[in-house]
A and B are shown apart, each in its own frame.
Chain A
Amino acid sequence: MKKHPDNANEALVDHLTRQQSSLFHYILSLVPDPVSAQDILQETNLVLWRKAAEYDSALPFMPWACRIALYQVKAHRRDQARDLHVFDDDVLDQLAAEPPEAHIGRPLEQGLRDCLERLPGKQRELIIARYQPGASVESLALASKLSPNALSQALFRIRSALADCLERQQQTS
């Protein structure tokens, strides 16, 4: 077993756990499939942990972590068939050049929970059903008697409303 007794490693542990949401967001913005994004996140965590000695706690954590995450994303793309890539190489580089800022304050999950409470009941039920493990737009469309396209459009509007709500929370906090 190991113990990392010095302050720099404790700071790394603190950043690593606090910024999991932000790292996952960054990876998912480059690889929209959540299963692949989670695998890449775990690989990234392992690399960050192994590279703990290289981490300079005087510098911001997210740029360093995102650089490592991008390497893992590109490694994943190399292993994946080209026709499964959502983004062309140049678009990927553009998106990667705009990493999310480190999230501070209230955890995103808490904020989103409050925003979910504010949604109208049917919208809330729909978005929650969409994110149950294993759910798909096709199966939900079947259950709610909508076309998959119409359901996807409805989900876009709900996600936009939640994004607006999160931004208002950040502005007021």
Chain B
Amino acid sequence: MSTPTLESLISAALDGRLDELSRTQLNQQLRESAEARATWHRLCRVHATMHRMGEAGDLRDRAPAEEAPTPRACSQKPRRWAGLAACAASVLIGLGVRSLFFSNPRSAPTVATLTTQQAIWEGLAPADGPLATHRSYMLRSGFASLHFSSGVEVTLEAPCRFAISGPLEMSVDHGRAAVRVPEPVDEFTVHTPGGDFVDLGTEFGIAVGSDGRSPVVLTDVYEGEIEIRHAAEALRLRAGNSRALLGKGANATCVEALDTEPISLADLHRRLPDQQRPALNDDNIALGKPVFAPSYLTRPHGSVFPPDNLTDGRADDSGVPGDWSFWLAPDHQAGEFTVDLLENHSVSRIELQNTRNRSIGDRGMKRFRILVSLDNHDFTPVMEGELAAIDLQQRTFPSETFTFPSVAARYVKIEGVDHYRSADRPMDDPHQGGGLNEIRIFAH
């Protein structure tokens, strides 16, 4: 019997078809020849990479979206390899539900590594380290950083719902993300409910929200170029430009401004913050308590700023359309609101964090009065104060503390006396007024 060629022995080994005789022969050839070992390593590299791509679903056509047609763009590379792959899949025995819908981090290659900062999760809570693909995660508070095997880095701000599906793609269903794509990676795709945002190199921000019925996705290109792909069209956007993608499917449109406001995500965290935030809410008796106000600012496309935002524990003008962290009074009003602590407390200290209305800088509370009540009918003035304006350069906003002699209260009212304005607009410009990020109340 002739000795099998190295070619046939390596094939058998890679395809799991070695018998004992051919195993012995393969070992002998590898033992005796450095060239044979080099051939083995060379083909193992292809074998390993093909296996990883197959397990990651990278060799299939992507499954179509449930409602909208799959977004297309001029630069999208066709993947029409279904052919024999589909036939082979149909004759396979014992193929269960695998990599497209579930991936166990212990049996799949690492697609991305997770690092968190003060993270609180809702539902599934992943540990720092390799992150499972095709699972939806909800970051309720804090920050998370994803380092993909492709070299791409993504920084996420809570609240954020996301999933990763491959080295070059992920989905963000809600929340804020900053994406950095290094050379020589060609494309990294972020799927959102409105459409796909493809980074062609190198860095952009995204805020995925809603107007209550349809997606509203904001994007701001910091460096390089991206492409926005939705059913109607594909749009390229270069550094210094921003857009809002409104709606989804065939009805989606891209606009340069939302109502009267320019679109800017300059305040997005593009890296994990250098310092952890101090714990501010340990003794805060206002956290999560109901707040009511005579009125608040509402505009189309998710520009709504209800008073409940004042006790949600979120700060620094963060958030996305339909889910901002701050309250804004209607135009031309300093505004007022009342916190219901739900039971009587002995209150002696209040902290307030002002707003500047994101990067717009046209709102915020200036002078104010604090009043308290036990019955929401008769209010007693406690003190007056003044808040500083939030500078447009600040990333983390300060909180200011106001203390007074301890007083019994269930209802705490803040009445704005006057408000800050944009330095670039005339005094009588209608689009400015009061507002506040957060109120914290502390008992005696």
Contacts and interface: CB of A to CB of B under 8 A. Distances in A.
Q: Do A and B bind each other?
A: yes
Contacts of A163: 42-43, 45-46
A126 interface: yes
Chain A CB within 10 Å, residue with most, of B106, B108, B116: B106
Contacts of B20: 83
A131 B27 contact: no
Contacts of A144: 84
Contact of B109 (A24, A139, A156): A24
Nearest to B88: A129
Interface string B79-121: 0010111011101111110110000011111101101111100
A130 B88 CA distance: 8
Contacts of B167: 107, 109
Interface in A52-107: 83, 86-88, 90-91, 94-95, 98, 100, 105-107
A54 B32 CA distance: 37
Given A100-B41, A143-B91, A94 B30 contact: yes
Interface string A125-146: 1111111111111011011100
B81 A29 contact: no
A95 B30 contact: yes
B97 to A, nearest CB: 10
B47 A160 contact: no
Contacts of B115: 2-4, 13
A124 B130 CA distance: 31
B14 interface: yes
A108 B129 contact: no
B272 A3 contact: yes
Nearest to A46: B129
Interface stretch (B54-62, B171-179, B344-352, B375-383): B54-62
Interface in A148-165: 148-149, 152-153, 155-156, 159-160, 162-163
A8 interface: no
A133 to B, nearest CB: 5
B140 to A, nearest CB: 13
Contacts of B272: 3
Contacts of B148: 17
Contacts of B14: 32, 155-156, 159
Q: Which 3 A-B pairs have the closest CB atoms?
A: A131-B54, A125-B84, A129-B88
Nearest to A24: B48
B15 A86 contact: no
B55 A106 contact: no
B45 A25 contact: yes
A92 to B, nearest CB: 9
Contacts of A143: 84, 87-88, 91
Contact of B84 (A33, A126, A137, A148): A126
Contacts of B93: 139
Interface stretch (B3-11, B229-237, B400-408, B414-422): B3-11
Contact of B117 (A3, A90, A156): A3
B107 A108 contact: no
B81 A133 contact: no
A154 B429 CA distance: 75
B426 interface: no
Contact of A109 (B44, B49, B99, B112): B49
Contacts of B27: 87-88, 91
A172 interface: no
A7 interface: no
B37 interface: yes
B52 interface: yes
Contacts of A5: 274
Contacts of A35: 107
A108 B150 CA distance: 9
B106 A132 contact: no
A128 B81 contact: yes
A140 to B, nearest CB: 6
B184 interface: yes
Contacts of A137: 15-17
A91 B31 contact: yes
A139 B117 contact: no
B224 interface: no
Given A21-B149, A139-B91, A13 B84 contact: no
Contacts of B40: 29, 95
B37 A98 contact: yes
